[in-house]
Structure 1
């Protein structure tokens, strides 16, 4: 009797772990995607700032 319940407990534990792993994996991927967007935005902003600085120097 106890052996069967142990197996059942183990099965449920594994199921729970798999579920939580996939959930965290999805979250992580989402965050990485957001991070990529942030990096691209930052690079574009830096580039524009550099160009505007150069223009300002010429006008002086």
Structure 2
């Protein structure tokens, strides 16, 4: 039973990682299908961080 619990938790973490990567790679201006919110691309997020830090 402990092995089954471990495998389930491992799969849950894997799914969360994949969803996070998907969110980062969505092109700018597209909506996240699960939330309906506007999301930016990974490159746009990096540029925003760079502007915020002044580099």
TM normalised by structure 2 equals 0.50
> Which of the pair is proportionally richer in strand?
2
TM normalised by structure 1 equals 0.46
Which of the pair has the greater relative contact order for Cα pairs under 8 Å at 6+ separation? 2
